[in-house]
Amino acid sequence: MTIRLADTHAHLDLPEILPDQEEVLARAREAGVALIINVGIGLENSRQVLATARKHPHVRATIGIHPHAAASLKDGDLQALTPLAGDPLVVAVGEIGLDFYRRRSPEETQKHWFRQQLEWAYGLKKIVVIHTREATAATLKILQETRSQLRGGVMHCFGGSLEEAHSFLDLGFYLSFAGPLTYPQAKGLREVVKELPLDRILVETDCPYLPPQPWRGKRNEPAYVVATARQLAELRGLSLEETTRATWENSLRAFGLEEKDFLG
Ligand SMILES: [Zn+2]
Ligand SMILES: [Zn+2]
């Protein structure tokens, strides 16, 4: 039986992947990865991820500024990206959010640009891809402040509690799981994933980071998303086919995509 997978969060244009991007994409196809969401993290990177999506029919792009880069943003920068958002290959604004773990940008600066980018996304009528690390409460608070305008989104690399998961689900979000779901120390997260509605779960690599077992310590790439799907299947007591059918359909629904565009 063939399986069809979506990697809902990849960084194909970072220096770790660029040198052999074509081979990485070929291996993804062979592994059954029929859709890759290539996620923007900065001004220049957002242009690159869209250029890559234009070259590869199974890749879609998101544009946005990662909280690590928030301190480098200036007024007018988002407006400069706005013309890109008109491209139908741009399926979301992201990744945006808060990262109080590494704190590469000051907390208040991160919050300011998170709010600015949410407003920008609402104006563009786009869903949002959220990054949060050690900042879940603050992230939820900001999302809840503007919930009437939210069109949904994806909480990427989810690693929180069941209660936090439900807060995101209540906002209409999908929860995306990455390689850490397979790590021995992630027992709590594996318990959480058993309790979630299957129709709101996605899988991703966040490559080149966070490779799942058994590729830990190596560079991650979209073909490896199958390991996270396999872990999900085991936790839910389903076959890999049943699990990937669900996550595939969820991915299309989450990003407003049509299956016919990814069957070739
Ligand atoms: Zn992230
Ligand atoms: Zn990312």
Distance in angstroms between the alpha carbons of the first and the last residue of the chain: 17
Predicted pLDDT of residue 203: 98
What's the CA angle centered on 219, arms 218 and 222, to 5 degrees?
Answer: 125
* Closest to 36 measured CA to CA, from 232, 220, 218: 220
Separation of 88 CA from ligand 2 center, angstroms? 21
pLDDT tens for 92-126 read 999 999 999 988 889 999 999 999 999 999 999 99
pLDDT tens for 224-247 read 999 999 999 999 999 999 999 999
Predicted pLDDT of residue 104: 86
Closest-approaching ligand to the CA atom of 131? 1
Section 75-79 average pLDDT: 96
Q: How far apart are CA 135 and CA 107, in angstroms?
A: 10
Separation of 135 CA from ligand 1 center, angstroms? 12
pLDDT tens for 120-150 read 999 999 999 999 999 999 999 999 999 999 9
Separation of 246 CA from ligand 2 center, angstroms? 22
Q: Which domains does the chain have, with CATH numbers?
A: 5-256 (3.20.20.140)
Sign of CA dihedral 248, 251, 256, 262: negative
Q: pTM for this one?
A: 0.98
Separation of 149 CA from ligand 2 center, angstroms? 24
Do the beta carbons of residue 70 and residue 85 sit within 8 Å? no
